[in-house]
Amino acid sequence: MAPTQVNTSGYNTPESELESFIEVHPTATRRPYTLTVQSEHTSYTDEHITSKFTNRGANVSVVDGQFLVTPTAQSYEFQTERNVSKTGLLMIGVGGNNGTTLCATILANRHNITWHTKGGIERPNYIGSVLRASTVQIGTDPSTGKEVHVPISDILPMVHPNDLVLGGWDISGVPLDKAMQRAQVLDYDLQRQVAPYMALIGKPLPSIYYPDFIAANQEARADNLIPGDNKQAHLDHIRADIRKFKATNDLDRVVVFWTANTERYSDIIVGVNDTADNLLASIKNSHSEISPSTLFAVAAILEGEPFVNGAPQNTFVPGVIELAEREKSFIGGDDLKSGQTKLKSVLAEFLVNAGIKPLSIASYNHLGNNDGHNLSAERQFKSKEISKSSVVDDMVNANHLLFKRPEIGPKGVPVGKGEHPDHIIVIKYVPAVGDSKRAIDEYYSEIFCGGRSTINIFNECEDSLLATPLILDLTILTELLSRVKYRKGEQTEFAPLYPVLSLLSYMLKAPLVKPGTDVVNSLNRQRNALEAFLKACVGLEGSSDLLLDTRIW
C-alpha cells in the first residue's frame, strides 16, 4: 500500500469522476467538545485539562479469623492534553474481514453514503462502539432531579473515527475494494458505492509470513510478502513502513493493530524471548520462535507507537513487555471480545453473584469466514481456546463460599487447583455460514438444596460487524491514554501511564495487565473502571448507585 494513497480525504481522483459510482455527501458535522467541570479540583488551559483525584480503597489483614480493614486514600493529579493527535491506524491484516469492514464503514460514515437493503434505506453509524454509541451518567439536574447522561466521547477530547488515516499490511496483495468483496460482510449496495474510495487506499503493504505460526490453509493467500527470511531485515522494513506512513500523512500518532490471523502460541524460552535484550538478539539471529505478531509489536515499540493485539496468541512474550517498559511505549491486548465471550463474562458473574454455583459451562460455535478457516487447525484453535477459557476465573476465585479454594501448603504455596466449573470450548469451520457465526452455550448450575438449573443460549451474530467497532474503540482509547499523564502524592513531575494499557480490558477476551496484578474479566467491573478513570481525568467521582437522596427523609 503506497503511503501517499492512504488518506482518502485527500484522494487524487476528481469527484466528478466518482459521481457516476457514488452519491457524495458532505462529511457529518462534528459535535464540539462541550463538557466543562466547575470545581476547585479541575482546571483548564488551552493545552491541558488537569484534575485532582483521591483514590479510595482499603487494606485487609486476617488475624485469628478476623478481617481487619483499614481504609486508604491516595491523592493523584491527572493531566490530559486537549489537542487530539492526528492519528493513523495501521492494521496488520488490513485485507481481511475486519480490516476491510472497518475501512469501508469509516469511508461510508465520512462521506455519508446511504445504501438500499431489502428492509429499506440504511445510513452509516457507529453502533457497537462503546465510545461513539453509549453514554455515561455525570450527575443530576437539580431542577428536575433527573440523571444526566452524555456520550462517553464527550468526557475528554477524543479522535473522531472519521478522521483516522487508514493503512496497513497484508500477506494477500488483493486491493482493498476487491478484498472487501471477497470478505462478503457488507451489503452489496454499500460495497458498490464505497468501492471507488476503497480502491484509492489501494493494495496493502507487503507483510511477513512464517508458515509455522498460522494454518497451512492460509498459504494460498500469501502472495504479498517482504522478501527473504532475515527477521532483523523484516523488523527494519516494518519500522521504515511506520515512519514513512507517519511522515507522508503528517501524523502525530500511529496505532499499530494486529487484526490478522490467529497464530499458534509461542514457546517461552529462556535466553530467547524472556527478556528485552534476549528478544532483540533472537530477532537479529532470526530465531524460529519469533512470531510475526511479536515482530510487529517490537517494531511499533521501537518507533514509539502503540501496538494493540486483537488476536488470542501470546504476542506479548516477557521480552516484549520488558521492551515496552524500557521504551515507555504503549501496548494492549489480547483478542477482541465481541460476542459469545462477552456474554459469558456477564452471565457467569450474574450466576456467581446470585449465589448460584455453575458446575459446567459448555460453549460451541461455528463460522465460515477466513478466521474460522485458520482456526480449523489445531495449534491455532489452541490459542483461541486459551483466551476464551480464562474469562470466568476471577469471578469463580472471588466466591470461596461456592468454590473451595486450594489448600495452602508450606510457605504459602497453594496445593492443588481448588474447585472450578467444567469449561469446554468447541469451534468448527462451516464455510456455508460465512461471517454469520452461530454460538450455543449451556450453563449447568447447582441451586438450592441439591437442585439443578440449566440455561441454554443460542446466539447468531455477524462476526466482523461486532468486531470492527471494537477496533475503533481500542484505537481511539489508546490514542487518548497516550495523552494522559499523572503524578502521585508528592511527586513533582507528571509521568505517562504504565505501558500495559489494562484500561482496554472491556474490549478484550484475555486482557493484558501489569505483571503481578490480577486480571479482571467481569464486564461490569471493566466498564466501571473505564468510566471511573475517564471521570477522574476531569475531577469527577465514579458513578454511585447508592442514590442516597432517595433512601433518606
Read off the pLDDT of residues 362-378 as tens digits, 9 standing for 90 and up: 988 888 777 766 666 67
- Dist. CA 415–CA 413, nearest whole Å: 6
Phi, then psi, of 463 in degrees rounded to 5: -55, -55
Spatial distance between the Cα atoms of 38 and 143, rounded to a whole number of angstroms? 18
Q: At 339, which amino acid appears?
A: G
Give all strands (DSSP E) within 337-488, no chain letters: 357-367, 407-408, 414-415, 422-429, 436-446, 452-462, 484-488
Q: Please give the average per-residue pLDDT across 117-132, as a whole number.
A: 94
Amino acid 218: pLDDT: 80
pLDDT at 93 over 90: yes
Q: Say what the pLDDT of residue 117 is.
A: 94
Distance CA 363, CA 422 (A): 11
Assess whether pLDDT exceeds 90 at residue 391.
Answer: no
**Torsion on CA atoms 9, 13, 18, 22, rounded to nearest 10:** -20
Reported as a pLDDT band with limits 50, 70 and 90, residue 197 is very high
pLDDT band at residue 46 under the 50/70/90 scheme:
very high
Annotate 282-303 with DSSP letters as a single string. HHHTT-TT--HHHHHHHHHHHT
Longest dimension (CA), the chain: 81
**C-alpha angle 447/452/458, rounded to 5°?**
110
CA dihedral 217, 221, 223, 229 (to 10 degrees): -40
Element housing 309 (H / E): strand 307-309
| Percentage of the chain modeled with pLDDT above 90 | 65
The CA distance from 311 to 371, in Å, is 10
pLDDT the model gives residue 533:
96
Which pLDDT score is estimated for 527? 93
Task: State residue 486's pLDDT score.
Answer: 97
Least confident of 78-92, 490-504, 538-552: 538-552
Query: CA–CA separation, 545 vs 360, rounded Å?
Result: 32
Enumerate domains of the chain plus CATH numbers: 3-26+84-336+466-488+500-536 (3.40.50.720), 42-81 (no CATH), 340-463 (3.30.360.10)
**Mean pLDDT, to the nearest integer, of 487-511?**
94
User: What's the pLDDT band for 483 if we cut at 50, 70, 90?
Assistant: very high
Taking the alpha carbons at both ends of the chain, their separation in whole angstroms is 66
Q: Which three cell numbers stand for residue 236?
A: 527494519
203-255: pLDDT as tens digits: 999 999 999 988 778 888 899 999 999 999 999 999 999 999 999 999 999 99
In degrees, rounded to 5, the angle at the alpha carbon of residue 514 between the alpha carbons of residues 508 and 515 is: 115
Tens-place pLDDT, residues 256-284: 999 998 898 899 999 999 999 999 999 99
- Pairwise CA distance, residues 311 & 261, whole Å: 7
CB of 367 closer than 8 Å to CB of 463: yes
Nearest-5° angle of CA 285, CA 499, CA 535? Answer: 160
pLDDT band (50, 70, 90) for residue 15: very low
The reported pLDDT for the residue numbered 281 is 98
Q: What pLDDT shows up at residue 398?
A: 87
Are 372 and 366 in contact by the 8 Å Cβ rule? The answer is yes
Average pLDDT, the chain: 88
Determine the Cα–Cα distance for residues 386 and 262; give it in Å rounded to an integer: 12
- Asked whether 510 and 334 are in contact (CB, 8 A), the reply is yes
Q: What average pLDDT does the segment 310-337 reach?
A: 94
Q: What is the 3-state secondary structure (H, E, C) of 489-543?
A: CCCCCCEECCCECHHHHHHECCCCCCCCCCCCCCHHHHHHHHHHHHHHCCCCCCC
Grid cell of 125 as nine digits: 453509524
The set of catalytic residues is 335, 384, 437, 509
Cβ atoms of 441 and 344 closer than 8 Å: yes
Least confident of 240-244, 285-289, 311-315: 311-315
The conformation of residue 7, written as its DSSP 8-state character, comes to -
Spatial distance between the Cα atoms of 311 and 511, rounded to a whole number of angstroms = 11
Q: Which pLDDT does position 341 carry in this prediction?
A: 82
pLDDT score at 416: 67
Residue 23's pLDDT band (cuts 50, 70, 90): very low
- Banded model confidence at residue 544, pLDDT cuts 50, 70, 90: confident
**3-state SS class at 70:** strand
- The letter for the amino acid at 153 is S
220 half-sphere exposure, CB direction, 13 A CA radius: 4
Torsion of CA 386, 391, 397, 402, to 10 degrees: -110
Q: Report the alpha-carbon distance of residue 92 to residue 103 in Å, rounded.
A: 13
Least confident range of 270-274, 326-330, 419-423, 498-502: 419-423
pLDDT band at 382; cut points 50, 70, 90? low
What pLDDT does 11 receive?
Answer: 29
Using alpha carbons, select from 231, 229, 223 the residue that is nearest to residue 296. 231
- What's the pLDDT at 22? 32
Name the band, by pLDDT with cuts 50, 70 and 90, for residue 130. very high
Range with lowest mean pLDDT among 44-58, 249-263, 398-412, 463-477: 398-412
Q: Compute the distance between CA of residue 330 and CA of residue 324 in angstroms, rounded to an integer.
A: 7
**Could you give the CA distance from residue 254 to residue 306 in angstroms, rounded to a whole number?**
7
3-state secondary structure of 240: helix
Q: What is the pLDDT of residue 2?
A: 43
* CA 520/CA 506 separation, integer angstroms: 9
Instruction: Give the tens place of pLDDT for each residue, 420-470.
Output: 899 888 888 888 888 788 889 999 999 999 999 999 999 888 888 999 999
Q: Is the dihedral of CA 359, 463, 333, 378 positive or negative?
A: positive
Distance between CA atoms of residues 398 and 168, nearest Å: 41
